[in-house]
Amino acid sequence: MGNKQKGQKTQNKLVLALFKLICVSGISTMALLPQLVMAIPKPLIAQQSANSNAAEQLFQEAFQLFQQGTAESLRQAIPKFEQAVILYRQAGNKGLEAVSLLLLGRVYDLLGEKQKALESYNQALPLYKSVEDQGGEATTLNNIGKVYDDLGEKQKALEFFNQALPLYKSVENQSGEANTLNNIGKVYNDLGEKQKALEFFNQALPLIKVVGDQGGEATTLNNIGFIYDDLGEKQKALEFFNQALPLYKSVEDQGREATTLNNIGSVYNDLGEKQKALEFFNQALPLRRVVGDQGGEATTLNNIGSVYNDLGEKQKALEFFNQALPLIELVGDQGGEATTLNNIGKVYDDLGEKQKALEFYNQALPLIKLVGNRGLEATTLNNIGKVYDDLGEKQKALESYNQALPLFQTVGDQGGEANTLNNIGKVYDDLGEKQKALESYNQALPLIELVGDLGLEATTLNNIGKIYDDLGEKQKALEFYNQALPLRQAVGDLGGEATTLYNLAFLQRNQGNLKSALTLIDNSISIVEDLRTKIGSQELRTSYFATVQSYYEFYIDLLIQLHQQNPNQGYDALALHASERARARSLLELLAEANANIRQGVSPQLLEQERTLQQQLNVLEHRKYKLVSNEYTQKEIDDIKRQINTVLTQLDQLEVKIRAASPRYADLKYPEPLNLQQIQQQVLDDNTLLLEYSLGENRSYLWAVSKNSITSYVLPSRSEIEAAAQTFRESITLDSGANLETGLPLSQMLLAPVINQLDNQRLLIVPDGALQSIPFAALPIPGKSQISVSSSSEGEINDWERL
């Protein structure tokens, strides 16, 4: 009798322990079925045959290996469980045979051998039915459902979960019931039925609370948070994640604590609160490392990299992406590896390192194909096409775009499809195939309207307007530009608004409406300069300004045209001022040239505040753009506008403090180009002449400014001047006589118009473009009868200074 009781007690403990491990949830592994032992027929538990004793020994050894949880120990457990199954079968112990099969299935499941797991579970199922163990039957059905879920067979998974649910209810197993409700919720979430998923998670939550399973409660709260996050209800998502966090801490589940911290960080990232996002990601990271979750660590490193990328800190972003990459490779997450390679490629793309970007995109592509993520494959092909477009390889760009297009169509991503059609249209436009470009844009437009992306709609309308403008259909062009402009303004796309205003100005100028064109380009330039001050990254500020130089060229050209029509209204002075504005450079460049310690006298706290506010402003503007490009409530748009206005006010107040602390810093950070009057009063004296050059695509300009006068001149195009400059520059290594001779054509272009103003004047020269590398002192003065190699020759410029 003692042996019988001892055997039953041992087996009871085993069954209790193992059922805490073998009931599978897509959400968490939960402690289940303590009453299951009572459902196993007592005569079977008490059986003391040799087979039963041997089976028990094998079972105990296998179970200990199972608990270790390593791939090696799980592999070692398999033959022991298989032998235990045979011995329990021979002993007629169907209850423990079923338990052994269930646990064997779980081992195969953990090792990723899903079909073998199904075989074991399907052998266990009729055994549980035969011994009328509804709890064991429910657990087996639940586990079969989870395997089908993992295999992507969602409807089959639902069938098995729905069979398990009433069985758990009938045996009043609230833990099992909650577990299955959670699994059903997960399937509906995967199927995109978010509200249904929410219903099942909300049914699971009170049951888990009743049984006191804090870990399960935390995980269910996490799942609810995920749903609200996906539904765009970020604050609600935060509420649930924040409820889950202390529960994970209380059960000392550092792995899931790290996951929750990561989730909270992701929500703050989506809300544009980048510094808060970083705080939570940086809390998650060491926990991921403590528990040895290399995949999770890689995810968090990737998230941190993405935040720094959004903040314009490209080098920091690269550091974190590069830390994530080897970890992802180590855990064999090919999808994650592809995403990280894509992220690195995008950073290099943004930095202008197009070849490096291509390398990473091309590394990502075969991995994406391998994991079958067609949406990501389409996005990567689109990225590759964009790089080829930027590199001027238009046919290669078209090839990539045309590969991306059917993939976007296959996965039903209408936004991606529309974006790709837009890109194809741009390539055809650049190739001069205007009708083909128009076809692509017109295919994109209804798709964009369907997905409600107002920003992309505005871009497409603007592009169509540009085509009609190029085709000479000015009235049609005007219609499309005028449709694009209010959409640009509605979504807060200031850069896009500046572009459309520029296009309208160009159109009005070509129709002879110079004053209307001036108003439009004035507004465009104001936006450009305002945007430039709001870009936190010096590197991005410089690259952005380079993209809008054509606006300034047009502005100068228009003002000179107005000056020629109205010589006495000061348009030449405005053109000179526009040239000065076009030369405004980033703080980084100014400091490098001036070698100035401009931080002297400014509190580090003020500088940090300035950087943080600029980052916040960038993020808020981006959020506003994304918000109004999709569905939004008036409250949401009002909230974001209020936040933007608050940050702008704080920036204005901070600038006042900075100016008070260091006027020198403020003058460099917030430079104001000099106007004509300031140049004449602050820079020039009676013996100094300023020569300022501005090179343009069709024509270039020269301003000669003295203490009391300004004269403007039209010069040849940029290409003509650059060709003459290159010839002269290449001759610099030859003898001086040759230098002077080869310099005559360039000198004729640059100095001949002002020859009568050069005598006895000290020259201040402000070059542009290729002229910045020209030694003006080596240029001959045009029209002199004799060219001498003497350094004191009257045929050379002797007193000059480059600005």
pLDDT, tens only, 602-627? 677 777 777 777 777 767 766 665 66
| Nearest residue to 540 (alpha-carbon basis) of 274, 768, 352, 385 | 352
Which of 58-62, 352-356, 627-631, 765-769 shows the lowest per-residue confidence on average (mean pLDDT)? 627-631
Distance CA 105, CA 730 (A): 78
Q: What angle do CA 494, 500, 506 make, to 5 degrees?
A: 135
Residues 155 and 102 in one domain: yes
pLDDT band at 16 (very low <50, low <70, confident <90, very high): very low
179 within 8 A of 188, measured Cβ to Cβ: no
Distance CA 215, CA 745 (A): 82
Q: Which residues pair with 323 in a beta bridge?
A: none
Residue 16 makes CB contacts below 8 A (sequence gap 6+) with: 34, 37
Residues 423 and 453 in one domain: yes
**pLDDT at site 799:** 52
Per-residue model confidence as pLDDT tens digits over 497-547: 999 999 999 999 999 999 999 999 999 999 888 777 655 445 555 666 777
272 within 8 A of 253, measured Cβ to Cβ: no
The domain that holds 384 is classified in CATH as 1.25.40.10
Residues 155 and 11 in one domain: yes
51 vs 485, higher pLDDT: 485
Residues 520 and 428 in one domain: no
Domain final residue pick, 492, 523, 543:
492
> Can you spell out the DSSP letters for 647-665?
HHHHHHHHHHHHHHH-HHH
Domain final residue pick, 458, 474, 492:
492
Domain count along the chain: 5
**pLDDT at site 533:** 64
- Per-residue b or e along 508-531, where b marks 16 or more CB atoms closer than 10 Å to that residue's CB: bbeeeebeebbebbebbbebbeeb
Mean pLDDT over 5-28 rounds to 44
pLDDT band at 791 (very low <50, low <70, confident <90, very high): very low
The answer, yes or no, to whether residue 801 has pLDDT greater than 70, is no
The answer as to whether 166 is a domain residue is no
**pLDDT at site 630:** 59
Per-residue model confidence as pLDDT tens digits over 363-380: 999 998 988 888 889 999
**pLDDT at site 656:** 65
Distance CA 19, CA 37 (A): 10
**pLDDT at site 101:** 94
pLDDT band at 789 (very low <50, low <70, confident <90, very high): very low
Would the CA dihedral through 553, 558, 562, 564 be positive or negative?
Answer: positive
The answer as to whether 170 is a domain residue is no
**pLDDT at site 314:** 81
The answer as to whether 328 is a domain residue is no
pLDDT band at 729 (very low <50, low <70, confident <90, very high): confident
**pLDDT at site 449:** 87
Per-residue model confidence as pLDDT tens digits over 567-586: 989 999 999 888 888 775 43
Residues 392 and 480 in one domain: yes
440 within 8 A of 424, measured Cβ to Cβ: yes
Distance CA 435, CA 423 (A): 15
Provide, rounded to the nearest whole percent, the portion of the chain with pLDDT above 90. Answer: 49
Per the prediction, the chain carries an average pLDDT of 82
The helix/strand/coil state of 688 is strand
Distance CA 412, CA 402 (A): 16
The answer as to whether 312 is a domain residue is no
Residue 787 vs residues 439, 524, 736, 740, 745: alpha-carbon distances, Å: 61, 48, 10, 7, 14
Residue with tokens 């989730």: 263
310 vs 80, higher pLDDT: 80
**pLDDT at site 343:** 92
And the tokens for 76? Answer: 């070692």
Residue 115 makes CB contacts below 8 A (sequence gap 6+) with: none
Domain final residue pick, 430, 465, 492:
492
Residues 659 and 786 in one domain: no
The helix/strand/coil state of 701 is strand
Residues 609 and 551 in one domain: no
SS3 of the chain: helix, strand, coil, percent, to 5: 75, 5, 20
Residue 264 makes CB contacts below 8 A (sequence gap 6+) with: 238, 241, 242, 245, 280
**pLDDT at site 595:** 39
The answer as to whether 192 is a domain residue is no
And the tokens for 59? Answer: 């079972």
Distance CA 783, CA 260 (A): 79
The answer as to whether 185 is a domain residue is no
Residue 72 makes CB contacts below 8 A (sequence gap 6+) with: none
Most confident region among 303-312, 426-435, 589-598 by mean pLDDT: 426-435
And the tokens for 210? Answer: 């009743």
The answer as to whether 212 is a domain residue is no
Residue 411 makes CB contacts below 8 A (sequence gap 6+) with: 374, 375, 378
And the tokens for 639? Answer: 């909230």
Range of the domain at 525: 501-583
Per-residue model confidence as pLDDT tens digits over 628-687: 555 566 677 777 777 777 777 777 767 667 666 665 555 555 556 778 888 888 888 888
Residues 156 and 83 in one domain: yes
The answer as to whether 484 is a domain residue is yes
Residues 662 and 626 in one domain: yes
How many residues are there in the chain? 803
The answer, yes or no, to whether residue 403 has pLDDT greater than 50, is yes
Residues 433 and 529 in one domain: no
> Can you spell out the DSSP letters for 489-522?
HHHT-HHHHHHHHHHHHHHHHHTT-HHHHHHHHH
Per-residue model confidence as pLDDT tens digits over 232-249: 788 999 999 999 999 999
Residues 724 and 592 in one domain: no
Mean pLDDT over 160-173 rounds to 94
Mean pLDDT over 774-782 rounds to 81
772 vs 565, higher pLDDT: 565
Q: What phi and psi values does residue 688 have, to the nearest 5 degrees?
A: -120, 135
Residues 507 and 570 in one domain: yes
Which of 152-166, 260-274, 736-750 shows the lowest per-residue confidence on average (mean pLDDT)? 736-750
Per-residue model confidence as pLDDT tens digits over 31-58: 222 223 333 333 444 444 567 788 889 9
One-letter amino acid of 724: A
The answer, yes or no, to whether residue 787 has pLDDT greater than 80, is no
Q: What phi and psi values does residue 203 have, to the nearest 5 degrees?
A: -75, -35
Which of 36-40, 68-72, 124-128, 180-184 shows the lowest per-residue confidence on average (mean pLDDT)? 36-40
